[in-house]
Amino acid sequence: MEDTGTVVAFWALAIITIGSAFMVAAVRNLIHAVVFLVLSFLGVAGLYITLSADFVGVVQILIYSGAIAILVIFAIVLTPQAGRDNAETSMRLPAVVLSGLVATMLGYASIDTNWSISDRPGFEETASAIGVALLDKYILPFEIAAALMLVAMLGAIIIVRDEGTEGAAED
């Protein structure tokens, strides 16, 4: 991808994504961390669109910057006495070393490997192709994912259900 617009978009989105991910680790307030997390998700969505993945980019904005961010904010406001502190445990230094090593290893492997790059152009549009693949080649994983969503929803409801108020409602 050589055209100037794509190059500028890539570098701007990469800086937004990594900068906000870094800020999630750096800020002291959890609510501020969620705001930077949403910004990082939006940057990743932009990177998807520079890779001509339009459907996945929209899914990213809907599910990650929408639904999952709201879930995280709910979890923060439902635990009020726990504080908004975004502090580290005593394992901070080993975590820095380990994640640095992982980044070095993944970066080295991605540069060192000789990928079989294809010169095909970007996708025209992906939604219909993904839909056909989901209902044809990947029909069984699709059905299992539907069952998984149902089980996860029921599980979340049963986990947080307050036993005391349920008994009171039956009386």
Partner 1 sequence: MSVDLEHYLMVGAILFAIGLYLALAKRNFVGVLMGIELMFNAANLTLIAFSRFVESESPIDGHVFVVFVVTVAAAEAAVALAIAVLLYRVRDTVDVDKANLLKW
> Binding to partner 1 by residue 46, rule CB under 8 A?
no
Beta carbons of 76 and 34 less than 8 angstroms apart: yes
- CA nearest to 43, candidates 3, 8, 24, 15: 15
From 12, 94, 139, 143, residue interacting with partner 1 (rule: CB under 8 A): 94
> Binding to partner 1 by residue 126, rule CB under 8 A?
yes
From 89, 168, 169, 170, residue interacting with partner 1 (rule: CB under 8 A): 89
Q: What is the C-alpha to C-alpha distance for residues 143 and 135, in angstroms, rounded to an integer?
A: 9
Size of interface with partner 1, in residues (CB under 8 A): 88
CB of 111 to partner 1, least distance (A): 6
Near partner 1 in 133-152, by CB under 8 A: 133-134, 137-138, 141, 145, 148-149, 151-152
The Cβ of residue 61 has, within 10 Å, a number of other Cβ atoms equal to 18
- CA nearest to 55, candidates 123, 127, 121, 122: 127
CB of 171 to partner 1, least distance (A): 22
> Binding to partner 1 by residue 114, rule CB under 8 A?
no
Instruction: Tell me whether residue 110 or residue 169 sits nearer to partner 1 (CB atom).
Output: 110
